């Protein structure tokens, strides 16, 4: 274990005797089990979440119907329908009941992968690791709770992306590329990990991921036929271009940006533009036809009132600046494939996916789980948070955990979401990840120099 002095806020986690808390493990285990079972019962009583829409995509593909007919989920790639196609054998309601346990498998796979990637550089006892995982799940429970009715598909995508990183760390580039390519074919956002591998000069896994992405994306043609598949791809590509290429940042691939969209583009637009009454980005506008629009909220304040052209240009420049900064920050090669710096960078990539995606709903925000786990693990291992980092984590907890409908009600959360506080929480979480990355990177390189000074023949060789 690295030994260093920690300046900042001492949380005292490293001095806790975790073995003494062993008898209390049943509390989070029982709570989690009850949580999972309650959601399962809700699904048994009636279908939940967006699963019926996902199922319908697969059913249409099998029946030879145009899968995006009527604008149904046209933001999903055709391979998404291919994966859900076999479920038509069970019927929609039965299928959701049957595949729901896969959500638990996805959660377990993600945290097991994170533990394997970090245990060497951030060692913890089994008891400490258990409570670290418990705290990370608690801090991400708002997002996990929304993804559970979706049978954990978004958690599975995060787990697949991180599994590819784990395979790569074990020099299994082809396996990692296939897993990452499949995740990218299901939703394009995991392809940001491909860009990260390219930035690191890891051409083998990047090429394998691109090849797998192409093959999986092409696979629905085996069911739909060439003509239907061509129409599917034309519609999907048009929706992607519309989602990322539109000049008006207050409009996305689904039309007016809703307050529930947590990505960076509509968050910036909200502060740069004057959204008129009736716009879905305002809190008093309801997307529920059974609930009429409320009068204009007296607590919704406008800020700048830039024209669409100016607002769109500023948003693009700000997002491009963030992307370029992150590229410059991560451009150098790490010490080795087992470097903890890599793990922190991938946690940052998972958050950047949420910020840069055209659409980031609450269930998509399970992408913060790797960052939460690593921060908790580092704090538990004695790598304390600075005052700024502690304040950032406190603000994240308020925006992304405490501020939920369960505590404050629908109308207040709608107002809070119109100020995009959860997006701010993601940015604050990203700042903590980058601070930890810098700290661990400096320690790792210092250890490398010290090791080389003591024994020049023992310098670790970069196997990249």
> What is the structure's pLDDT at 332?
85
Domain-located, residue 383: yes
* Average pLDDT score over residue span 347-372: 96
What is the band of 461 on the pLDDT scale with cuts at 50, 70, 90? Answer: very low
What is the band of 56 on the pLDDT scale with cuts at 50, 70, 90? Answer: very high
Structural tokens at position 300: 């919704």
> What is the structure's pLDDT at 240?
79
Tell me whether residue 219 is exposed, middle or buried, using C-beta atoms within 10 angstroms of its C-beta: 0 to 12, 13 to 18, 19 or more.
Answer: middle
Domain-located, residue 212: yes
Tell me whether residue 358 is exposed, middle or buried, using C-beta atoms within 10 angstroms of its C-beta: 0 to 12, 13 to 18, 19 or more.
Answer: buried
Helix (H, G, I), strand (E, B) or coil at 403: coil
Could you give the CA distance from residue 67 to residue 57 in angstroms, rounded to a whole number?
A: 5
What is the band of 69 on the pLDDT scale with cuts at 50, 70, 90? Answer: confident
> What is the structure's pLDDT at 291?
64
Pair 335, 124: CB distance under 8 Å: no
Kindly tell me if the per-residue pLDDT of 463 is higher than 50.
Answer: no
> What is the structure's pLDDT at 384?
86
Considering its fold, how many domains does the chain have in total? 1
> What is the structure's pLDDT at 450?
66
pLDDT tens digit sequence for 221-265: 999 999 999 999 998 888 878 777 778 999 988 888 999 999 999
Q: What is the mean pLDDT of the chain?
A: 89
Could you give the CA distance from residue 370 to residue 380 in angstroms, rounded to a whole number?
A: 15
Pair 269, 247: CB distance under 8 Å: no
Domain-located, residue 1: no
> If we measure between CA atoms, which residue out of 227, 188, 185, 222 comes closest to residue 80?
185
The pTM for the full model equals 0.92
> If we measure between CA atoms, which residue out of 230, 255, 233 comes closest to residue 242?
255
Domain-located, residue 100: yes
pLDDT tens digit sequence for 207-226: 999 999 999 999 999 999 99
Instruction: Mark 56-71 as b/e (b = at least 16 C-beta within 10 Å).
Output: bbbbbbbeeeebbeee
* Average pLDDT score over residue span 110-128: 94
Percent of the chain whose predicted confidence (pLDDT) is above 70? 91
Beta bridge partners, 9, equal 385
For the CA atoms of the chain, what is the radius of gyration? Answer: 23
Domain-located, residue 137: yes
Residue 236 sits in which domain range? Answer: 39-244+310-448
Could you give the CA distance from residue 84 to residue 96 in angstroms, rounded to a whole number?
A: 11
Which phi and psi angles does 434 have, rounded to 5°?
A: -65, -35
Percent of the chain whose predicted confidence (pLDDT) is above 90? 72
> What is the structure's pLDDT at 336?
86
More confident: 390 or 14: 390
CA distances from 23 to 29, 256, 421 (A): 11, 51, 37
Q: Name residue, tokens 């959360």.
A: 413
Kindly tell me if the per-residue pLDDT of 320 is higher than 60.
Answer: yes
> If we measure between CA atoms, which residue out of 224, 211, 145, 151 comes closest to residue 184?
211
* Average pLDDT score over residue span 46-72: 91
């Amino acid at each position: 274990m690295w030994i260093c002095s920690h300046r900042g806020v001492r949380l005292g986690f490293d001095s806790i005797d975790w073995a003494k808390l062993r008898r209390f493990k049943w509390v989070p285990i029982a709570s989690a089990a009850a949580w999972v079972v309650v959601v399962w019962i809700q699904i048994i009583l009636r279908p939940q979440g967006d699963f019926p829409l996902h199922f319908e995509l697969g059913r249409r593909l099998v029946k030879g119907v145009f899968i995006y007919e009527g604008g149904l989920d046209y933001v999903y790639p055709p391979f998404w329908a291919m994966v859900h196609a076999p479920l038509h054998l069970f019927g929609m309601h039965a299928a959701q009941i049957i595949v729901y346990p896969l959500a638990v498998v996805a959660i377990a796979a993600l945290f097991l992968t994170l533990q394997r990637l970090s245990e060497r550089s951030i060692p913890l006892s089994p008891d400490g690791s258990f409570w670290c995982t418990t705290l990370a799940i608690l801090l991400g429970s708002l997002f996990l709770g929304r993804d559970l009715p979706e049978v954990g598909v978004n958690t599975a995508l995060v787990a697949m992306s991180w599994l590819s990183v784990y395979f790569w760390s074990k020099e299994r580039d082809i396996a990692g590329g296939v897993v990452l390519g499949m995740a990218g074919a299901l939703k394009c956002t995991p392809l940001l990990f491909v860009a990260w591998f390219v930035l690191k000069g890891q051409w083998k896994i990047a090429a394998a991921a691109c090849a797998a992405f192409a093959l999986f994306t092409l696979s629905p043609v085996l069911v739909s036929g060439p003509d239907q598949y061509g129409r599917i791809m034309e519609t999907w590509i048009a929706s992607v271009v519309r989602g990322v290429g539109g000049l008006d940042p207050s409009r996305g691939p689904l039309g007016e940006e809703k307050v529930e969209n947590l990505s960076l583009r509509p968050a910036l637009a909200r502060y740069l533009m004057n959204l008129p009454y009736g716009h879905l980005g305002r809190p008093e506008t309801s997307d529920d036809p059974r609930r009429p629009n409320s009068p204009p909220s007296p607590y919704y304040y406008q800020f700048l009132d830039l024209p669409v052209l100016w607002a769109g240009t500023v948003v693009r420049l700000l997002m491009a600046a963030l992307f370029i900064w992150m590229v410059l920050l991560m451009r150098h090669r790490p010490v080795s494939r087992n470097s903890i710096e890599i793990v922190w960078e991938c946690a940052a990539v998972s958050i950047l996916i949420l910020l840069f995606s055209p659409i980031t709903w609450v269930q998509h925000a399970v992408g913060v789980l790797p960052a939460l786990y690593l921060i908790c693990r580092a704090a538990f291992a004695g790598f304390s948070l600075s005052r700024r980092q502690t304040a950032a984590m406190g603000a994240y907890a308020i925006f992304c955990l405490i501020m939920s409908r369960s505590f404050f009600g629908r109308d207040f959360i709608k107002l809070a979401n119109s100020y995009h506080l959860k997006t701010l929480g993601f940015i604050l979480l990203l700042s903590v990840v980058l601070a930890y990355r810098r700290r661990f990177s400096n320690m790792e390189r210092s250890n490398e120099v010290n090791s080389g000074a003591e024994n020049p023949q023992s310098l670790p060789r970069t196997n990249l």
